[in-house]
Amino acid sequence: MCIRDRSEIAANPNVIVEQNYEESLSIEYVQTDWGPIQVTVQGSLDRPVILTYPDFALNHRNCFEGFFQCPQTAFLRQNFCIVHVDGPYQEESAPLCENPNNYPSLTQMGQQIQQIIDHLRIPKIICFAVGIGGHVLCNFAIENPGRVEALILISTSTKGSGWFKYIYQYIGTWVLSLTSFIGKLPWFVVNQIMWRYFTQETINNNPDLTESIRRDIEKIHPLNLYLFLDAVMKKQDITSGLKKIKSPSLFFVSFGSTYQDDMQEMFEQFKPDTCSLMEIRNVDHLITEEAPTILADPIKNFLIGLGYIRL
């Protein structure tokens, strides 16, 4: 039975909704305490599982597809099951949120991860996330350290929003709350989001990537983006809680980015022999799409060291 609409989930909450291309890709809506979450599974769940979570205003496709489909990362498709989790009502072509009052916080999004892997009967995962997705998976890892085999984070901060960030995001939230009635993001909000990910130089020099991302962001319903942004506004500083995570970890950040100091502080919460921090030059925030090949070898060597890949 195929389910292609969230309205059908009440009667069939855990049914695979679509199967299409290579590696037995399946898309499924998993019911959680805060509503259904789109989960995309590529490969057999008998393999070790890498679970991904995208950044703000992105989905698993435009945040990770460039990385997982480049030839240099074929070893991941061959050795792992990739489970992509999209944020609540942030997936591609997401419908309007049905119950805004039940929209989860970032902490609750971490609890959704537990419910999702319980449903899929996955005992442990390798967490792989970008930006706000890293905050979500760190929430999960702090509460469930025994279910995390490894942690791979890119351009992430586990700090709270902070005063200036709060004001900036409040203005964005106010604008989005007004435009939610017309169902289209204003151009200046789209520009602000784009500047979060790319410098003007990258926007000028890599139009194929940046225009594709821009078109995707323009399609997001303002109310759905507003709800996610509101959750980001209220995120708590969980940096000190990282000490509870004992699994091997690998962090990436672009050199000179606004996340560099935060990721250094995150790195310092781990034992030196369990965590590595790599600073990448000449790239922007979204390294998975802008320069996926740069990530391939460090991640491969990291996973070889954990015994997942044989030389």
**What is the DSSP annotation of 25-83?**
-EEEEEEETTEEEEEEEES-TTS-EEEEE--TT--HHHHHHHHHHSGGGHHHHHH-EEE
Percent of the chain whose predicted confidence (pLDDT) is above 90: 76
Strands 81-85 and 125-130, by their bridges, are unpaired
Say whether pLDDT at 10 is over 80. no
Say whether pLDDT at 239 is over 60. yes
d(CA 199, CA 84): 27
Determine the residue type at 238: I
pLDDT band at 162 (very low <50, low <70, confident <90, very high): low
309 or 167, which is more confident?
309
Beta carbons within 8 Å of 87's beta carbon, 6+ residues apart:
53, 54, 59, 109, 132, 133, 136, 228
Say whether pLDDT at 30 is over 80. yes
Determine the residue type at 189: V
Choose the weakest-confidence range: 59-68, 162-171, 282-291: 162-171
Say whether pLDDT at 257 is over 70. yes
Percent of the chain whose predicted confidence (pLDDT) is above 70: 89
| Confidence (pLDDT) at 171 | 63
223 or 113, which is more confident?
113
The residue among 28, 51, 232 whose CA lies nearest residue 140 is: 51
Say whether pLDDT at 276 is over 60. yes
| Confidence (pLDDT) at 139 | 98
| Confidence (pLDDT) at 256 | 85
Angle between helices 222-233 and 163-179 (to 10 degrees): 160
Backbone angles phi, psi at 121, to 5 degrees: 60, 45
Q: b/e for 51-82, b at 16 or more Cβ within 10 A?
A: bbbbbbbbbbbbbbebbbeeeebeebeebbbb
d(CA 204, CA 266): 33
pLDDT band at 16 (very low <50, low <70, confident <90, very high): very low
pLDDT band at 167 (very low <50, low <70, confident <90, very high): low
Q: 3-class SS at 267?
A: helix
Say whether pLDDT at 178 is over 50. yes
| Confidence (pLDDT) at 168 | 67
Say whether pLDDT at 301 is over 80. yes
Q: Is the pTM of this model over 0.85?
A: yes
Q: 3-class SS at 209?
A: helix
